[in-house]
Amino acid sequence: MAQTQSQTPSRLRAALGRALTPSLVIGAGLVLAIVLFGLIAPFFVADPNAVDNAGMHGPSAQNLLGTTQTGQDVLAQLAWATRGSLLVGVIVAFLALFLSAFFGILGGYLGGWLDEVFSLFTNVVLILPGLPLMIVIGSYVQQRGLLLIAIILAITSWAASARVLRSQTLSIRNRDYVQAAKIAGEKPHRIIAVEILPNLLPVMSSGFVFALITAILGEAGLSFIGLGVNGTQTWGSMLFYAQNGQALTLGAWWWFVPPGLMIAVLGGGLSLINFSIDGIINPRLRNAPKQLKRVKQAGKQAEQEQAERAEGDTGPDERDETSGHDPDQEEVAV
């Protein structure tokens, strides 16, 4: 008893140490910084919509990121836009996660005609281009609330991860412990919740992070063409106003660089997190560099030993490689 107690923390620490790769730490740091900025900064900045007669000017002590054409503080707008974009992103990611889990796991586990219908539906949604569909829907609805935009974004972005979840479910479904649970008379919903879902968690969290990136990019695109949420500041709407306010030709880089940079940094941070999740799911990716180094070292050692043994004389196998006719090389060239 005492032994297991002392062992668990160290094993946990080892697992944590393996998971805490540099890319995870950097990625999580970037994401956390942006989230905190979106949560806290809006309380401290000036009114983002307050118009000032001074007009557009670059960064100064009073306006750290300069002002827009109508004298609005860019930093204040950025703070509120961060909050708006993150809010949309998180709502969409949860909706998309739910949809993909529903169609992917349920179809994959139950199989039969339900699976056929579900995967046909998934593939059709996957192949239809998302943004044109969003544009058509968005332009018909005049009152675009937050929820409506979130739903539009979610229904166009769940399909890819539903397909991944389905194939994972298919492989887990046939494992021994799931079969055992079935024979033991467990109900399907319990098998899905207890036996299958925990094994899908890494894939689902990777899908969630991916959905978050897609949602924020999609919302930015939609807002950039003026079809975003009415009356809510997001990174996309900032860029929309910057583009329409001639920020480019007037050289107002402080207006259009920050929102895009925030999207890029957040997306980069989320991808770094996804990298480490990928490494956990697929150990081959994580171990490949180490393995290669080991192989290289072994190769060097063997070379050295061979060189010591041969002492200047070229080995017969080496001669073969250089002078012998190699039909493979020609095939490659073709």
Residues near other proteins, by CB under 8 A: 23, 120, 123-124, 126-133, 135-137, 139-143, 160, 213, 217, 220-221, 224-227, 239, 242-243, 248-249, 251, 253, 256-257, 259-260, 263-268, 270-272, 275, 278, 282, 284-285, 288-293, 317, 320-321, 326, 328-329, 331-332
Q: Are 97 and 208 in contact, with CB atoms under 8 Å apart? A: yes
Task: Name the minimum Å distance from CB 328 to other proteins.
Answer: 4
Can you state the angle between helices 197-224 and 159-173, rounded to 10 degrees?
A: 170
Q: Are 128 and 215 in contact, with CB atoms under 8 Å apart? A: no
Residue 167 neighbours by CB distance under 10 Å: 13
Question: Smaller CB distance to other proteins: residue 57 or 182?
Answer: 57
- Cα Rg of the chain, angstroms: 27
Cβ burial, residue 200 (10 Å; 0-12/13-18/19+): buried
Task: Name the minimum Å distance from CB 297 to other proteins.
Answer: 12
Question: Smaller CB distance to other proteins: residue 110 or 131?
Answer: 131
Amino acid code (one letter) for 210: F
| Planar angle of CA 185, 109, 174, nearest 5 degrees | 75
Task: Name the minimum Å distance from CB 1 to other proteins.
Answer: 41
Task: Name the minimum Å distance from CB 322 to other proteins.
Answer: 11
> Collapsing DSSP states into helix, strand and coil, what is residue 65?
coil
Phi-psi region of 58 (alpha: psi -120 to 50; beta: other; left: phi over 0): beta
In the Cβ-directed half-sphere of 228, how many Cα atoms lie within 13 Å? Answer: 28
Task: Name the minimum Å distance from CB 22 to other proteins.
Answer: 10
Task: Name the minimum Å distance from CB 128 to other proteins.
Answer: 6
Question: Smaller CB distance to other proteins: residue 176 or 330?
Answer: 330
Question: Smaller CB distance to other proteins: residue 125 or 196?
Answer: 125
Task: Name the minimum Å distance from CB 311 to other proteins.
Answer: 24
Task: Name the minimum Å distance from CB 263 to other proteins.
Answer: 5
Question: Smaller CB distance to other proteins: residue 36 or 250?
Answer: 250
Nearest to 212 by CA among 277, 139, 143, 282: 277
| DSSP string of 237-251, one letter each residue | HHHHHHHHTTTTTTT
Question: Smaller CB distance to other proteins: residue 308 or 328?
Answer: 328
Question: Smaller CB distance to other proteins: residue 74 or 263?
Answer: 263
Q: List C-alpha distances in Å: 199 to 7, 15, 67, 186, 202.
A: 24, 17, 50, 17, 7
Question: Smaller CB distance to other proteins: residue 42 or 218?
Answer: 218
Question: Smaller CB distance to other proteins: residue 191 or 217?
Answer: 217
Q: Are 41 and 77 in contact, with CB atoms under 8 Å apart? A: no
Ranges of beta strands (E only) in 158-213 are none
